[in-house]
Structure 1
Amino acid sequence: MHILFDKYYPIGKVWSFCTYIVSIRHPDDLETILSSTKHIEKGLPYNMLHPWFGTGLLTSTGAKWHARRKILTPAFHFNILNQFVDILIKEGDCMTKSLKDVGGTVVKDLVPFVSEHTLNAICETAMGISLQKFDEFQQQYRNAVHDIIELLVYRMLRPWLYKDLLFSLLPQGRKQKEILKILHRFTEKIIAERKIYHERTNDQYLKNIDKEIDDVEVCGIKKKQLAMLDLLIAASRDNDLTDLDIREEVDTFMFEGHDTTAISITFVLLLLAEHKDVQERVRVEVDNAMQEDGGKLTRRSLQNLSYLERCLKEALRLYPSVFSILRNVGEDVKLHSYVIPAGTILHLNIYGVHRDPNFWSNPEVFDPDRFLPERMQNRHPYSYLPFSAGPRNCIGQKFGLLELKAMVAPLVHNFYLEPVDYLKDIRLQIDLIIRPRHPVHIKFIPISRKSNTFKSNTDTI
């Protein structure tokens, strides 16, 4: 498909039965659509997400989308993100410790390994709930996410199954119903746990949610940090949201906050493993930053990891988790070379623009220094869209970058990364996000800090 869009650059039309989609990837055209407040309605295939996400922030439009965005934006304020950093660092340390506990060199299937920890991170930050008490449900939830994505892709590739009634009568429709029970049961448990906390504190924390509150004890219970879920619960107390409304947003953020991040970390680690010079430069930067802060990662040291941040941005250029966006055009719109008629489904090709040689020199090469300030100055702002752009940009993009830093930094500090599966051999699967089609592995070789050599028998990287 990527080759096809290259052939019909910068705009092409794809027919599927009676439906056609116009694909665009020129930054000028992407800017026209993404910067507009008129073209914010998601494309038809997003309707198939409604049984899972309802009409939450990802899938809603119009007044409902504006209202939800307004409620949730404070959860990602700079001051709140600062509170989250400690949790993210702790989860990064847990991931590192799990490798250390094995002892010696460890080979890991990256996606399931990383996603376990990104799920913990999103629950403790955005939901305010630790998953320690949900161990038995966590794996079940992640398996259910995998299964429902397979069903969604199966359905999206068969337009005759777009009608809900027909799909519900098929074995796949009945299977989806069972999977949804698992997914919704998990999020409902998380919501219930957080509500119990507020009931035990007589909602005193919710009453002061708009104020700066120090870590004090309320009714003998230590105040937890502000979570996105608290904002939703507070809105429900004011009768602005129902329990179903809360679940819509929790389902949305549970998936987007753990799966996309896990895939991003996977590709970052694969790239670092294959580029030893870059990996070593990251390691030196992390080591120096930690040394300045007493040998540990802190909020301040994470902010000082500028080269690692450039590596993360370059990995997101090559492998953007959200590789494309679909939008419905509600009225005629003039693009660079064409007028797109009202009612058209537009495919915004993010993967394509990220690898467009007209805007990126040697686009297939991993080069973190592309994101040096002086090299970014004259770059088209819509040639790089890992978190989308405009009014419907990703609300959690700053959170996502913080999490990537907090997870990757301790791994590079404690281990040499060696490739087992190489990126050139990895087949990509396109579903809701971009991901490896098959398991991908990496080798973690412990670093002995005393002698700065491997603890294993490996002599060289």
Structure 2
Amino acid sequence: MLIGQYFQEKILSSVKCTDKGSAYAKFEWLFGKGLVTSNGQLWKDDRKLLGPSFKLQKLTGFLPYFNKHSKTLVEILTKFQHQATNVYPQLVRATMDFISESAFVQDSTYQINDEDNFLAATHMALTSFRLRLAKPWLAITPKIWDLFGLGKQDKICSQFVNQAMSEAIEKRKIALAQEQKSSSETGENHANQKAFIDVLLDSKSEKEIIGHIMTIFGAAFETTASAMNYTLFLLALNPSAQEKVHFELDSIFGGDKNRDVTLNDLSGMKYLEMCIKEALRVCPPVPVMVRKAQEDIPLDNGQIVPKGCRVVILIREILRDQEHYPDPEVFNPDRFLPDECAARHPFAYIPFAAGQRNCLGMKYALMQMKTCLAHILRRFHVSTSQKRDDISLINGMVMEPKPKLEIVLTPK
């Protein structure tokens, strides 16, 4: 069953429609039973366990990591200035650093280390996921998958991931024991800076922890990098909006291009946030999601979504509904002025999903993107010779532009 704006609130808010459906089972070989793939009571218990990790007071402890790796990214981007460049690969590596260090509280060097096995395994996993979606007949049975050598590749990928994650978990256990000893001696309390992995250590097996960490990577690093990539591209196409962003950042930082971003700075980046939200509307990284009804769900128009029905929610189409977004193809950040948002139905804007299974990492992602883009846009103007009509958006695990987006970075 395909649904649009009229039913999404009913479906997404229903406790009878929280299961993800069989399509997500394709990811279990790497993600295990993490929040993206799990259903039923397991999902409810894990959601309750992990939800507090994404509260704002916990997220503020991640700002030093976001600043650190954003600065590394900016220095790398200076090598590409004055030339048309696809910055997406650099954004992906940066988001991997953000997530890895904020999840494990350990040094992360994906932006500068090309020889990392986990990085190689990540690329292998993405290739596998995209192939399963593009050619589902290959994954009908393990025998067919193995016949083409893909099962062997998945096994190698899993081995790399498990080894890297096991080492990270062991390091974190040692570091946490040392921190707890220090805290007991000094009386200090570091609860607000508690890392995502720490929440899992006392209640989950190593296998379960690896599944949850890989879920965070899989759900966050490509989607966040994609959102930033689209934001930079759309700002490059809309100089007046970009000028407003530069003015806002200059008013906050006083022309200082290197100072760390603070929580107060982030609260002042209202127009930059509006631009990010509009970019997510125009080019949502995840264009489709699926839910499965556990019971019959009556709708207001008298129809019934029957038990076992798969409901496909077309996020991209919902975000182009002219009732809520006149001239939907136009990039207009003013759609997210406070009065505009208040007048719009909350379920008309769902790039992070909504309702029972909304994205736990929404605030984390926005904080990360605002911090990173503030560092980039304090240093560079962005422009492009490409046009919106030049670009096709291809649905997949993450919506991909074809051809790749290219921007020119010009030092301010």
Aligned match for 2:397, one of 409, 429, 432: 432
CA distance in 2, matches of 1:351, 1:212: 47
TM-score by length of 1: 0.81
C-alpha spacing 1:69/1:91, structure 2 compared with 1 (3 Å): same
Paired position in structure 1 for 2:263: 299
C-alpha spacing 1:249/1:104, structure 2 compared with 1 (3 Å): closer
Cα RMSD (Å): 2.7
Paired position in structure 2 for 1:125: 102
CA contact (8 A) 1:184 1:251 kept: no
Q: Secondary structure at the match of 1:190?
A: helix
Between 355-364 and 414-423, the greater mean CA deviation after superposition: 414-423
C-alpha spacing 1:122/1:60, structure 2 compared with 1 (3 Å): same
1:106 Cα offset (Å): 4.5
* Percent of aligned positions that are identical: 29
1:226 Cα offset (Å): 1.9
Q: Alignment length, in residue pairs?
A: 408
CA distance in 1, matches of 2:386, 2:165: 34
CA distance in 2, matches of 1:30, 1:423: 29
CA contact (8 A) 2:110 2:116 kept: no
Paired position in structure 2 for 1:227: 195
- In the alignment, structure 1 residue 50 sits paired with structure 2 residue 28: yes
CA distance in 1, matches of 2:378, 2:343: 34
- When you count helix as a share of all residues, which structure comes out higher? 2
> Which amino acid in structure 1 is aligned with residue 317 of structure 2?
G
Paired position in structure 1 for 2:359: 394
- In structure 2, runs of 5+ residues without a counterpart are none
Paired position in structure 1 for 2:293: 329
CA contact (8 A) 1:265 1:408 kept: yes
C-alpha spacing 1:96/1:161, structure 2 compared with 1 (3 Å): closer
Paired position in structure 1 for 2:230: 267
CA distance in 1, matches of 2:217, 2:172: 15
CA distance in 2, matches of 1:426, 1:294: 32
C-alpha spacing 1:345/1:298, structure 2 compared with 1 (3 Å): same
CA contact (8 A) 1:105 1:443 kept: yes
C-alpha spacing 1:168/1:274, structure 2 compared with 1 (3 Å): same
Aligned match for 2:328, one of 360, 363, 374: 363
Paired position in structure 1 for 2:215: 252
Superposition map of 1:40-119 within 5 A: 40-100=18-78, 102=79, 105-119=82-96
CA contact (8 A) 2:21 2:292 kept: yes
Q: Secondary structure at the match of 2:104?
A: coil
> Which amino acid in structure 1 is aligned with residue 267 of structure 2?
Q
- In the alignment, structure 1 residue 352 sits paired with structure 2 residue 317: yes
1:444 Cα offset (Å): 0.5
CA contact (8 A) 1:415 1:444 kept: yes
> Which amino acid in structure 2 is aligned with residue 86 of structure 1?
P
Aligned match for 1:374, one of 326, 339, 347: 339
Paired position in structure 1 for 2:189: 213
C-alpha spacing 1:137/1:195, structure 2 compared with 1 (3 Å): farther
> What whole-Å deviation, never above 9, does each CA across 1:396-446 have from its counterpart, x for those lacking one?
100100111001112111111011443322232322121224432211011
Paired position in structure 2 for 1:309: 273
CA distance in 2, matches of 1:107, 1:213: 48
Paired position in structure 2 for 1:18: none
Q: Secondary structure at the match of 1:377?
A: helix
> Which amino acid in structure 2 is aligned with residue 290 of structure 1?
F
1:390 Cα offset (Å): 1.2
Aligned match for 2:161, one of 169, 183, 186: 183
1:293 Cα offset (Å): 8.6
C-alpha spacing 1:37/1:206, structure 2 compared with 1 (3 Å): farther
C-alpha spacing 1:160/1:336, structure 2 compared with 1 (3 Å): farther
Q: Which is higher, the Rg of structure 1 or of structure 2?
A: 1
Paired position in structure 2 for 1:450: none
CA distance in 1, matches of 2:46, 2:87: 34
CA contact (8 A) 1:149 1:431 kept: no
- In the alignment, structure 1 residue 193 sits paired with structure 2 residue 171: yes
> Which amino acid in structure 1 is aligned with residue 33 of structure 2?
T
1:253 Cα offset (Å): 0.7
C-alpha spacing 1:51/1:380, structure 2 compared with 1 (3 Å): same
1:70 Cα offset (Å): 1.8
CA distance in 1, matches of 2:188, 2:352: 29
Superposition map of 1:406-425 within 5 A: 406-425=371-390
CA contact (8 A) 1:30 1:382 kept: yes
1:362 Cα offset (Å): 0.6
C-alpha spacing 1:213/1:172, structure 2 compared with 1 (3 Å): same
> What whole-Å deviation, never above 9, does each CA across 1:15-49 have from its counterpart, x for those lacking one?
xxxxxxx11122x3111111111211102110111
1:259 Cα offset (Å): 1.3
- In the alignment, structure 1 residue 287 sits paired with structure 2 residue 254: no
CA contact (8 A) 1:131 1:138 kept: no
> What whole-Å deviation, never above 9, does each CA across 1:179-228 have from its counterpart, x for those lacking one?
22233333333223212312445x547999xx97259xxxxxxxx94210
- In the alignment, structure 1 residue 24 sits paired with structure 2 residue 3: yes
Q: Secondary structure at the match of 1:131?
A: coil
CA contact (8 A) 1:429 1:436 kept: yes
Q: Secondary structure at the match of 2:407?
A: strand
CA distance in 2, matches of 1:388, 1:345: 16
CA distance in 2, matches of 1:294, 1:99: 14
- In structure 1, runs of 5+ residues without a counterpart are 1-21, 216-223, 448-461
